[in-house]
Structure 1
């Protein structure tokens, strides 16, 4: 279920991008997974909102009389300035951009899409919806889910599977509960200036990238221990762990996991991250204060490396489990990855 007009059957693990699919001549770009976010960000305006998304199908072979199960599926979406298509086949993933819809809907890599011998096997609009995301969030989603490296399969990971996921991500992103992150970009500032609230992981990746400069490097990493409830007098068994990074610009970032969400906060005043979470006091008392659990110099890496470690292929985003995949597991995994081996406690 892959035919879109291609002649190759070798899966490339690359994205093919045609930025001017409506022009008679134009050069496309081959982009690897490692290049995906930076290269596309330089080629397009990633801040554009996706206003509408459409799910299309067309037959695989010209002799078909039905489009029921044997069909290719692809997505077309619209931003303020462009029409786009995105699809997967046994070559890889293709994105096309055009000023008119026909060049991406009726054409694949400048060749007419396959149609059948009856009217029911034309290019068919299956579903459409308003968009709920930005272009950079879609790019982050493609990278995060590792779709370029994910091998094509006839019965699984095929064009239909890919189109289903992309359509859902664009149309329903704000209702995908597994992606929720509470983010506060200035936790030590008045709430009206911090842009705090729940966002998707894909939006978080873009906002952290924008907030942390290319010269901002991690210098220290700490795990802090806090009680679960304010009435606890012992924290030997029941406790919550969270991580705080310090950068060379004296900015502090906290990140932690809860049963239903992640929380990430940024501040110049580290004390706020210790005493408050999501603008509420942390549960602590004289017997069980918030205290340092582990501390070390950090590997000198940008904060984006932390984001990549956590969310590439949802590495640390498996289903929460109170015993085996909780705040302790999360904090220790991040700490072990980014401490440089030189303990400072």
Structure 2
């Protein structure tokens, strides 16, 4: 798929219980999470770095990072890992969410935190969205959104499939959070 071209591919706003048989080895980017009905651009591993060189805001400095968790349904409590988890990053001019589900890695961008935290591709997320439990962390001086994209690429996260217990949204959100916060020996 050519640069900045949209696809009807999608990431769901929650992880399925599958072992990742739907994994596409792609990153799905939504330029404005607030816009309803928008389809994300589907970007392959090979296109990743060139694609994001053209995306506004990727040179922004990372200011802060959070992890949020979302009920998978309005009635199911957040117990036994039955929730979707994702990372929200505040940069100089935008807010970004980084998420993993059974199809791929999803990135969305918006001007306000509420639009990446409480909305997914223009639709309000199902169930409540609450902080995961760790305190928000500041970004490190000089780290940019492009550094996150580069980290996803160099660590081969698009080629690492989804697994319900070993390589899921919880794991991915923690890895990004820890790399930005430089915790547990991780760094962008």
Query: Same-fold call, TM > 0.5?
Result: yes
Q: Residues 14 and 93 of structure 1 are in contact (CA less than 8 Å); yes or no, is this contact kept in structure 2? A: yes
Identify the match of residue 38 of structure 1 among 27, 50, 62: 50
Q: In structure 2, how many angstroms separate the alpha carbons of the residues matched to 1:84 and 1:46?
A: 10
Given the alignment, which residue of 160, 164, 171 partners 2:174? 164
The alpha-carbon deviation at position 27 of structure 1 amounts to 5.0
Structure 1 residue 6 displacement after superposition: 8.0
Larger Rg: 1
Unaligned runs of 5+ residues in structure 2 are 1-10
Q: Which of 49, 56, 59 lines up with 1:47 in the alignment?
A: 59
User: Is 1:154 aligned to residue 160 of structure 2?
Assistant: no
TM-score normalised by the chain length of structure 1: 0.46
When residues 23 and 61 of structure 1 are mapped into structure 2, their CA distance, relative to the original with a 3 A threshold, is closer
Between 1 and 2, higher relative CO (CA 8 Å, sep ≥ 6) is seen in 2
CA RMSD of aligned residues (A): 2.5
Give, in angstroms, the shift of residue 176 of structure 1: 3.4
| Cα contact 1:21–1:96 (8 A) shared by 2 | yes
CA contact (8 A) 1:50 1:134 kept: yes
Per the TM alignment, residue 111 of structure 1 is displaced from its structure 2 partner at its CA by 2.4
- Residue 112 of structure 1: CA displacement? 2.2
1:137 alignment counterpart: 147
SS at match of 2:182: helix
> Is 2:13–2:84's contact at 8 Å kept on the other side of the alignment?
yes
TM-score (norm 2): 0.81
Q: Higher strand fraction: Structure 1 or Structure 2?
A: 1
Contact 1:58/1:67 (CA < 8 Å) preserved in 2?
no
CA–CA separation in structure 1 for the residues paired with 2:116 and 2:67: 12
Within 2, Cα distance between the matches of 1:10 and 1:155? Answer: 16
Instruction: Report the Cα offset of residue 26 of structure 1.
Output: 4.3
Change (3 A) 1:6 1:73: closer
- CA distance in 2 between partners of 1:131 and 1:67 (Å): 30
2:111 alignment counterpart:
99
Structure 2 SS opposite 1:23: coil
Instruction: List runs of 5+ in structure 1 lacking aligned partners.
Output: 116-121, 180-201, 203-345
Task: Tell me, in whole angstroms, the C-alpha distance in 2 between the residues paired with 1:17 and 1:169.
Answer: 21
Measured against aligned partners, the alpha-carbon deviations of 1:100-134 in whole angstroms (never above 9, x if no partner) come to: 1121101222222221xxxxxx2111231111221
Deviations 1:246-297 (A, max 9, x none): xxxxxxxxxxxxxxxxxxxxxxxxxxxxxxxxxxxxxxxxxxxxxxxxxxxx
Q: CA deviation at 1:67?
A: 4.0
2:4 aligns to what? none
Q: How many positions carry a matched residue from both structures?
A: 171
Cα 1:125–1:6 change in 2 (3 A) is closer
Separation in structure 2 between the aligned mates of residue 56 and residue 97 of structure 1, nearest angstrom: 16
Aligned to 2:99: 87
Structure 1 residue aligned with 2:129: 123
